[in-house]
Amino acid sequence: MTDKLRLSGDVAYVKRTNTADNRPLAQTPPVNGKVQLDYNAGKWSGGTRVRFAAGQDRIDTNMVGATEVGESAGYGVVDAYGRYSLNKSTKVRFGVDNLLDKTYAEHVSRRNLDLGGTVERVNEAGRSAWLKLETEF
């Protein structure tokens, strides 16, 4: 866009089918991606990112309860982040992921409890702030 402002993004699409019986394969992620806008002002930089995924209804119904949890809803979450360069080799990075505190789960995010083989979808983290000191030597 400009020397200081950059817009970028990516999208991923996967379609998998068991050719023996024409069923969708288990644990296939839906269309997903991100769009981000970054601003770089020398020592300071920052940006915002929107991560998204469509709902997934192409599931292997024969695997529900084993490795497949079932259909999943789509989502969109917003992250914000920044960086300050203390000197040539040291930077402070900071940010807030899931800024709007959206409740969501990745389609292939689940846990398998050893309590009779129960499989359940696990929500991703709510709003979370982070701070990182990065140095090169």
pTM: 0.80
- Sign (positive/negative) of CA torsion 58, 62, 67, 73? positive
Quote the number of domains for the chain: 1
The pLDDT of 47-65, averaged and rounded, is 85
**68 Cβ contact partners less than 8 Å away, ≥ 6 residues apart:** 26, 27, 59, 60, 61, 119
At residue 114 the predicted structure's pLDDT band, cuts being 50, 70 and 90, is very low
Q: What is the mean pLDDT of the chain?
A: 88
Structural domain range at position 87: 5-135
pLDDT grade for 83, boundaries at 50, 70 and 90: very high
